[in-house]
Structure 1
Amino acid sequence: MKYEYTVGNYLLDRLSELGIRHMFGVPGDYNLAFLDDVINYEGMNWVGNRNELNAAYAADGYARINGFAALATTFGVGELSAINGIAGSYAEHVPVVKISGAPTTKVMDNGLYVHHTLGDGKFDHFSRMFQEVTVAQTLLTQENAAQEIDRVLLACLTEKRPVHITLPIDVYNKPANKPESPLHEEIATSNHEVLSQMLSELTPMIDDATQTVILAGYEVNRYENREELLEFANKTGIPVTILSGGKGAFNEKHPQFIGVYNGELSAPYLQQRVDEADCIIQIGAKPTDSTTGGFSYDFSKKNVIQITPFSVNATNKKYAPITMKDALVALSDKITQKNPEELNIIPLKSQINQDPYEAKKENMKQNRFFERLSYFMKERDILLAEQGTSYYGAATMPIPKDTMFIGQPLWGSIGFTFPALLGSQLADRSRRNILLIGDGSFQLTAQELSTMLTQKIKPIIFLINNDGYTVERAIHGENQPYNDIPMWDYKKLPEVFSPEGKSITYKVKTELELEDALKAAENNHDYLTLIEVVMHRDDKPDLLEQLSKQFANQNV
């Protein structure tokens, strides 16, 4: 019997309420009937991916721009294909809703040996695996569906991390009541007494310091506190640096921005300014090996005031609950504005080479490529940089105001950014998306090019062809065969993956050839652009050259 309003309708209504307009995934017999509801739901577009891992990556990219994302796969085989992508979202605080179509409740209750299972009559193996990489999980029944859907979605909303929903194929179409009210987020609030105590005890510490610095990170982006960070910097006059994972959290053209901090691999002025600071206000930043030059920072933790999404920590004391937003607003009004001359602020724009870029009759090299790319970027672009040469070249490259940056320095799953590009572009078609990815990473997830062309998105893709895993060669096994990959004819791939899709492709080896490709990309507003940039396999951005040595020592 077909009911007018069902569990599937309820789930889709709640996802739509969160602003989700696209559902990523791969069909399987345990989710096919639910996908009919997705197809028929007004305002929800089904985006079929080439595999479940790519779907999870695409959902991650979508959520970083849109705020939330969802993907649907079948039970067992589909779930486990997607779990690596979900783990990355968990590690980097990206809110993704993972929906797994499951066998009927009768099959599960009777412990039948059906396909996509381990043949032991147990059906909770995979949901238990997801407990490690999601903040909430549920198995929906007709009786609990509405309450459980709301519970896990609120956890996703609050904690900015993935959740897992198991949806049996005989439950999605059971009757349900429409939501009586909007999904009620239990918005985190600060305790005013604790907030007052924090202000009274930490404001003097900041006011008395003479070499204060702000160190910001990716949680500023995830919790949408960019405006509060900007206001905090403007009111206090304190210089701002960021970890590379937090690029986009602060305007890099701002006169108080002093660069991207990378421990001892930072520029000398920046390293000294941070490591010798007598007060570091760490806002939404989690130092990792990839973002601190292999933990090579030298500042004292006793000088750090750490502002997290829900607490403030300093001098071995924790003030909670206090939200990041409330902490920034309150401190902005209390801290005495610093004298810029005493703070020794040298803006990033004054530190870098001011000479205009002029293309030469030479082969393209990594450092020159990123220098040129910095001029190519525009305000409001979305820049995706794959882990490896692309990420570490882009990490210190100045980006324009209101640029969003997507990378994965903590989880570091290579191939991530290519499907993530599909998600980020679908999340906002009005913004120009630019992807930087190496040939080794591209070969892991290349088939998603077919989906991009089918969806008619129009990003600009720079595929760095340096003949293998350059970042791995730099760490270990420079000439070992495990760091080699087959050579592909990359510029022909759009035609192979989607004969009816439209794109423009270029293969460039020199700076002058790159200029021609960039001009064509600037003028192309109708199709996907793929620019293959050939570079020597041993050529590396300066930051990666140094960091790879740190990683090599770290692995001993």
Structure 2
Amino acid sequence: MAELDAGTVTVGRYLAARLTQLGCRHLFGLPGDFNLNLLDEMLAGDDLEWMGSANELNAAYAADGYARVGRCAGAVVTTYGVGELSAVNGIAGSYAEDVPVVHIAGLPSSEAIRSGARLHHTLLDGDFLHFVRMFAEVTVAQAVLDATDPAGAIDRVLETMLATSKPVYLGVPLDLARHPVPADRLRTPLVPPPSDPEAVAAFTDALRDRLPRMDRLTVLAGPGVHRRGLEASVARLAQVPGIRIASQVGSKAILDETHPASLGTYLGVNTKDPGSQAVVDDAGVLVMVGTVFSDFTTGHFSHRYQPAHAIELALDHARIGPAVYPGVRLEEGLAALGEVVADLGFTPQEDVPPTPVPPAATDDAAPLDHTTMWALLQDWIHPGTTLIAEAGTAFYGAVDLTLPDRSDLLGQPVWSSIGYTLPAAWGAAVARPDRRPVLVIGDGSAQLTIQELGRLLSHPSAPVVLLLDNDGYTVERKIQSPDAVYQDIPRWDWTALPPALGASGAVVHDVGTTGEFRETLDAARDATAGHFVRVRLDRDDAPRLLVAIVAGIQKANALAGR
């Protein structure tokens, strides 16, 4: 990193250095006249690589996917007003699901802001802080840099992101991008706040007092484990006899799902294996590690376990029943749990017999349906895969898969913004080029963010995109009014899109029968090129989990209407 005179660097280069220290090696976004100085400074060295996107929403989704799969910070750069407002939905999803993303907005000059100049991209009212205030609702910390201490403001905001695993906002005026700041601050890396040692000790003692009363232990692991990169700690916990581990939706593959201790994915009454559901719901002691409590993670609140009675390891505190231990971060809480259970003699539990997986259909001439498609995917998916599944039929089908070792499921179960996964898959490919991305996305969702298809399919990791062409919004059709006009979408020529959007080297497939899909999966084992597969499905066909969830929704709606 080049220094200016007297041991200084520019604000832009300082920010770039801080991002690389946090594991971020790529910038997603779009140029605009208010961020050009900033981009020139941030990209002046070799530490950051530019990932230009088609629009700011896609860039925000890509940065989110990058952060989730890379277990690091993501970064998106926009211009003022028109650019940053286009990104706000993506940032809100990061906030809802605890994803550390830095939104960096290039602002008009400090003088323009002070004088209230009537500039383009503004509301012409002289108030340049409208959009900062908007982002205060979906970011955990914000700063508009000024000449007083811009490096300190950057550090404060980024440290808050590290502490909370939530997105933050930095506004960089045009002139501040090249403002000098002391370079020696960069010698002190930014780190998350430490746990309170006294609180950790008290929590550990309380665990020792609580756990010996039981002869077995059940763990429910949530997305917080991914956010803090603690999968290895959970895997070590799984080696202790008598411990069984279930994952929440949105946190599949925290543990290798073929591991003897794995209970698979817990979804209340919608859990695929009833035996696994019973182990969680009837646990004598349930430990919730980095969990999220919502309608979807609990099977629309069909869970029987009592969160208030459980042991909880949250991102920034621990709890045993009503006793809360502030300042025990998830890392230390999980370490304390591992230390305590290693000394205990739990009774090994009997294996929960898995629910048999129906074999894939053998009639190759039969029209392809969800049951057969997911069964064939189960047999085909290989270790070292990032499976990305869009909200809708794709996600509900993917949750029921048993993922192989070194794999991950990327989705957005809480925010569930359709179109998210296509740019997020690109971000995931950039973050983890060692894993092959396999994206499953519906036709309605893909129409929102299709602009990134060329970038995704052209990535060296040879992504596979399965486009589920089922003629509209099947999820909404299942819930209500299946024939309503608002459930329809324009019919696109899907197989013409990859070359039109810049992926001329991708292999394009069009399948509608079991045999065609089987042959296409065999062809897609070739990882020298990306593969785009149009998968033709019946409009009203749906995977098991979606059918079960819709039945629960309709039952709840009927009871509410009494």
User: TM-score category by the smaller chain?
Assistant: over 0.9
Worse-matched range after superposition: 411-420 or 219-228? 219-228
- Provide closer, same or farther for how the CA distance between residues 105 and 93 of structure 1 changes in structure 2, counting only shifts above 3 A: same
Q: Whole-Å Cα distance in 1 between the matches of residues 442 and 185 of structure 2? A: 49
1:542-553 correspondence to structure 2 within 5 Å: 542-553=544-555
Deviation at 1:306, TM superposition (A): 1.1
Q: Which residue of 1 aligns with 2:507?
A: 504
Q: 1:102 to 1:365 in 2, by over 3 A?
A: same
Out of 321, 331, 347, the residue aligned to residue 339 of structure 1 is: 347
Equivalent residue, structure 2, for 1:322 = 328
Q: Please give the secondary structure, in 2, of the residue aligned with 1:198.
A: helix
Asked if the contact 2:253/2:408 (under 8 Å) is kept, the reply is yes
**Alignment RMSD:** 2.1
Written as runs of structure 1 = structure 2, the 5 A alignment for 1:246-257 is 246-257=251-262
Choose the corresponding residue for 1:472, options 470, 473, 476.
476
Aligned length: 549
3-state secondary structure, aligned to 1:245: coil
Please list the CA deviations of residues 483-531 of structure 1 after superposition, one character each: whole Å capped at 9, or x if unmatched.
1111111111012112x731111011111101111111102x2322111
The answer on whether the counterparts of 2:359 and 2:375 sit within 8 Å (CA) in structure 1 is no
Whole-angstrom distance in 1 between the partners of 2:157 and 2:375: 45
Distance 1:404 1:358, change over 3 A: same
1:29 maps to 2:37: no
Which residue of structure 2 lines up, in the alignment, with residue 296 of structure 1?
A: 302
Query: What is the CA–CA distance in structure 2 between the aligned matches of 1:359 and 1:303, rounded to whole Å?
Result: 50
User: SS of 1:190's equivalent?
Assistant: coil
Partners of 1:354 and 1:366 lie apart in 2 by: 12
Matched, 1:514 2:522: no
Shift of 1:225: 1.2
One-letter code of the match for 1:545? V
Deviation at 1:239, TM superposition (A): 1.1
Retained in 2: the 8 A contact 1:494–1:501?
A: yes
C-alpha offsets along residues 5-61 of structure 1, whole Å, 9 cap, x if unaligned? 421111112122222221111111111232223443213221111110000000001
* Residues 282-322 of structure 1 deviation map (CA, whole Å, 9 limit, x = unaligned): 11111211222111111233541111122221221102322
Scaled by the length of structure 2, the TM-score of the pair is 0.93
Deviation at 1:232, TM superposition (A): 1.8
SS in 1 for 2:524: helix
Of 142, 158, 164 in structure 1, the residue corresponding to residue 163 of structure 2 is 158
Structure 1: how far apart are the matches of 2:339 and 2:162?
29
Give 1:193 shift.
3.5
What is the aligned counterpart of 2:426 among 422, 428, 432? Answer: 422
Distance 1:511 1:337, change over 3 A: farther
Question: Which secondary structure does the structure 2 equivalent of 1:176 belong to?
Answer: strand
8 Å contact 1:370–1:397 — kept in the other structure?
yes
Partner residue, 1:270: 276
Q: Are the structure 2 counterparts of residues 205 and 358 from structure 1 closer, same or farther at C-alpha, using a change threshold of 3 Å?
A: farther
Structure 1 residues 346-382: Cα deviation after superposition (integer angstroms, max 9, x where no partner): 16xx433386875643111112211111121122211
Q: Distance in 1 between matches of 2:229 and 2:277?
A: 28
Which residue does the alignment assign to 2:57? 53
Structure 1 residues 377 and 28: alpha-carbon distance in aligned structure 2, compared to 1, 3 A threshold: same
Q: Distance in 1 between matches of 2:47 and 2:217?
A: 48
* CA gap 1:18/1:371 in 2 versus in 1, 3 angstroms: same
Aligned twin of 1:79: 84
1:503–1:528 CA contact under 8 A, matched in 2: yes
Give the secondary-structure state (helix, strand or coil) at the position aligned to 1:161.
coil
Query: How far 1:536 sits from its partner (Å)?
Result: 0.7
The answer to whether residue 288 in structure 2 is matched with residue 282 in structure 1 is: yes
| Gap change, CA 1:126 and 1:330, over 3 Å in 2 | same
Match of 2:395 in 1: 391
Quote the Cα distance in structure 1 between the aligned partners of 2:541 and 2:345: 45
**In 1, are the aligned partners of 2:436 and 2:461 still within 8 Å (CA)?**
no
- SS of alignment partner, residue 423 of structure 1: helix
Work out whether residues 23 and 70 of structure 1, in 8 Å CA contact, stay in contact via their aligned partners in 2: yes
**Alignment check: 8 A CA contact 1:389 1:471 kept:** yes
Q: Give distance in 2, aligned partners of 1:541 and 1:60.
A: 27
Q: Which stretch has the larger CA shift, 62-71 or 178-187?
A: 178-187
Specify the code of the residue in structure 2 equivalent to 1:539.
Answer: D
Between 294-303 and 502-511, the greater mean CA deviation after superposition: 294-303
Q: 1:101 aligns with which of 99, 102, 106?
A: 106
Query: Which of 406, 411, 423 is equivalent to 1:407?
Result: 411
Letter aligned with residue 355 of structure 2? Q
CA distance in 1, matches of 2:373, 2:345: 40
Q: Deviations over 1:191-237 (max 9, x none)?
A: 34433333333334333235632111111111111111121221253
> SS state of the match for residue 325, structure 1?
helix
The match for 1:173 among 172, 178, 184 is 178
Q: Secondary structure at the match of 2:182?
A: coil
Contact 2:79 2:105 in 1 (8 A): yes
Structure 1: 5+ residue stretches without partners: none
Higher mean displacement: 320-329 or 213-222: 320-329
> 2:230 matched to which residue of 1?
225
C-alpha separation between the residues in 2 aligned to 1:171 and 1:93?
29
Q: State the identity %.
A: 37
Give the aligned residue type for 2:547: E
Deviation at 1:3, TM superposition (A): 6.3
TM-score, normalized by length of structure 1?
0.94
Residue 533 (1) aligns with residue 535 (2): yes
Structure 1 residues 190, 111: CA separation in 2 closer, same or farther (over 3 Å shift)?
closer
Letter of the aligned partner of 2:387 in structure 1?
L
Mind listing any 5+ residue stretches in structure 2 that lack a counterpart? none
Residue 324 of structure 2 aligns to a residue whose secondary structure is strand
Structure-2 change in CA distance of 1:187 and 1:75 (3 Å): closer
Native 8 Å contact 2:467 2:533 kept in 1? yes
- Residue type at the aligned position of 1:401: D
**Counterparts of 1:472 and 1:542, CA distance in 2:** 16
